[in-house]
Amino acid sequence: MRLLIAFAFISAACGGWIEDEALRLRTGGRVAAKPRRLTVNLDAEPKSRWSFLAKEPGFEDYRSKATGYLEKYIPASLLPIVNRIAESLEFAYYEDYAQEMQGLASALNLSVGEIVLINLVYQVEGIGTSCAKVNTTGPCPSKQQGPGLCSALVANGPNAGDAVWQGRNLDWDLDASLLEYVVEVDYQRGGKTAFTGVQVAGMIGILHGVYGGKFSVQLNARDRGGSVVENLLEEILLGGKTPTHVMRKAMETAKDFDHFELFLLSEHLANPAYFVVAGAQHGQGGILTRSRHGGHAWRLGEPQAMDPHGLNPQPDWFRLQTNYDPWTAVPAYDNRRQPGVANAADFCSKGVDEDCVTKVMTAWPTKNHHTDVTSVMCPRTGFMSTVVWQHSPAAETMVV
């Protein structure tokens, strides 16, 4: 009975694309695949850390596919700004990452400017494309368009010894030419993995990742990622950092969860973002809402001080985040929040583990026709399971 009531509530509250059976079937038709796994040696000189990609099996066509993708989706009007960034890498990026980008360009037979674009693609890919394709908060009122965003869940059980788990959906609708290059990267020191990140090959930063015994993190877009031109100028003129790079740098440098959270809340960003974090200890986790220069945290077990009207009620033991400020109402055309909250409260009510988090993240509409990657992480153990949702030609023909 509880499930029926929740389903009726969700259906009435959401509407639009969420009720489109063809889109739901299309989503179910995508094929699960495991990503490639790579290893990067952080003890090596930065310029040589990615040199192995020059001979990595499966990367023979990377250059042609990457350049084709950039020509298709990146407006020519942005190229002069990107070239300026390429000329001043060590100001726009952390010094060692700037050196990595130079080495990566050589390994993949690309220009430094092209590597810069790949590292910015999460921020600029949507410029000039339709609302249905763009990774944006809208407006996309048509029921056939829907999201193109991300969802996150961080949760722990009621007992003090219960681990914190994190679920991550990357709803990018990434072009198939780059989807095959979504990779898990083991970043190692002393021959042992320190942390694992998920990214698109060619990126220096991570889209999400986990450090066993310490923490995990993911990036969700905020405010459509901000103004693209303003973001690029923030990097060139003011030294704002790309959020994917900031997450990796936090993984590399933070000594503990508190330091990790503080770094993510305070580092100067090129564009607004949400960082969703979890720690190795019970109760460590929450949503970090970031502007370029500051941030606000809504942690597990804490009230939402910025939501006095109760627009986003959630139990103390989990936080679910999509792409809207957690103290505001979501738009009617993209209400993934309420179904996600209802599913988390139902599926994980008897305990939080890999199975229940996976069930939440793969339930419609949290997993939808734009979802490219689903990961489940546990920072206490360093566990991460990642699925890349490959396009199925048969499923794509379901929507007319």
Domain chopping of the chain, boundaries: 2-34+142-396, 46-124
* Cα gap 348→157, rounded to integer Å: 8
Q: At what angle do helices 257-266 and 243-253 cross, to 10 degrees?
A: 150
User: What residues form DSSP beta bridges with 324?
Assistant: none
pLDDT in tens, 224-278: 666 677 777 777 777 889 999 999 999 999 999 999 999 999 999 999 999 999 9
Residue 14 has pLDDT above 60, yes or no: no
- What does each C-alpha distance from 288 to 154, 219, 374 come to in angstroms? 12, 10, 20
Q: Coil, strand or helix: which one is 390?
A: strand
Check residue 141 and give its pLDDT.
Answer: 42
Tell me whether strands 182-189 and 36-41 are parallel, antiparallel or unpaired.
Answer: parallel
- Give the count of alpha carbons within 13 A of 73, CB side only: 26
129: pLDDT strictly greater than 90: no
Question: Could you tell me the fold of the domain covering 2-34+142-396?
Answer: Penicillin V Acylase; Chain A (3.60.60)
* Position 394 confidence tier, pLDDT thresholds 50, 70, 90: low
User: Taking CA 208 as the corner, what is the angle to CA 303 and CA 93, rounded to the nearest 5 degrees?
Assistant: 105
Distance of alpha carbon 340 from the chain centroid:
17
pLDDT class of 379 with cuts at 50, 70, 90: very high
pLDDT tens for 320-373 read: 999 999 999 998 888 999 999 999 999 999 999 999 999 999 999 999 999 999
DSSP assignment letter at 35: P
Long-range contacts of 51-60 (CB under 8 A, 24+ apart): 51/103, 51/106, 51/107, 52/107, 53/104, 53/107, 53/108, 53/201, 54/106, 54/107, 54/108, 54/109, 59/108, 59/201
Determine contact, residues 30/23, Cβ cutoff 8 Å: no
In contact, 246 and 260? CB cutoff 8 Å: no
* CB contact at 8 A, 115 and 185: no
What's the whole-number average pLDDT of the chain? 88
